Amino acid sequence: MLAIGHRGACGYQPENTLASFRHAARLGCPWIELDVYHVEGQLVVIHDDDLARTTNGEGLIMESSFAYLRSLDAGNGEQIPTLQEVLEVADTKMNINVELKGPDTAEPVAALLTNACQNQWHSEQFLISSFHHDELTRASTKFRRGALFGRPAADIIGRSKEMSAFSVNVSLRMISQELVNLAHHAQLKIYVYTVNDRPDIDRLRNWGVDGVFSDFPDRVMENNP
């Protein structure tokens, strides 16, 4: 079962910071997950649309300048990073799930990843995901898509297939053996977020879940065969 470091290894370091991604690398994590907004031509890595929870700033991401965002403390003196900076930290050794959070992110993300694929990266090292399914369908078909769902919805599997998804990414509260079986029958991978407790990790492994997002990715890796 694949260990995907949630916002890096954010159980140990401030989420979505270079410190968090470097910690995931030190743990030997094969995949990391992060969130992006497109601000003044830059792809910034941060989860919330409001700055208050994860930085010492105020206001909304999409109403802030890139210079202001870069001036903020995102935890332990870390800056809000750019996606390009995370690529440099990962250095092709960790694969990356890029979640599209802000508007009009699909095309600039695909452009940056396409450029990365001309410099040692390979397209299968990336997964582009989003809860915003219209935005997700704008992502280049060069890259695998992950259809994100946070609550039960009608025909999750069918909707994921319509988006040409590679995986269906669902919350822990939604997962069941039946959903795992349906996904696999439709030739979809199924990934589950956010899974931090060892009993949940063991249960999902027994159900045949393909991967989990965890703040503590080492907990997932420690019991992998």
- pTM attached to this predicted model: 0.98
pLDDT by residue (tens digit) across 47-92?
999 999 999 999 999 999 999 999 999 999 999 999 999 999 999 9
Which pLDDT does position 47 carry in this prediction?
98
By DSSP bridging, strand 211-214 and strand 189-193 are parallel
pLDDT at position 202 is 97
Which amino acid is present at 64? S
What pLDDT is stored for residue 223 in this prediction? 73
- What domains, with CATH codes, occur in the chain? 2-221 (3.20.20.190)
Q: Which residues contact 136 (CB under 8 A, 6 or more apart)?
A: 100, 106, 128, 129, 130, 145, 147, 163
Pure H helices in 95-197: 106-116, 133-136, 156-162, 177-185
pLDDT in tens, 142-171: 999 999 999 988 899 999 999 999 999 999
Mapped onto helix, strand or coil, the DSSP state of residue 126 is: strand
13-52 residue pLDDT tens: 999 999 999 999 999 999 999 999 999 999 999 999 999 9
What would the pLDDT profile of 167-213 be if each residue is shown by its tens digit?
999 999 999 999 999 999 999 999 999 999 999 999 999 999 999 99
Is the confidence at residue 224, as pLDDT, over 80? no
* Alpha-carbon span 32 to 3, nearest angstrom: 8
pLDDT band at 225 (very low <50, low <70, confident <90, very high): low
Please write the tens of the pLDDT for every residue from 87-118.
999 999 999 999 999 999 999 999 999 999 99
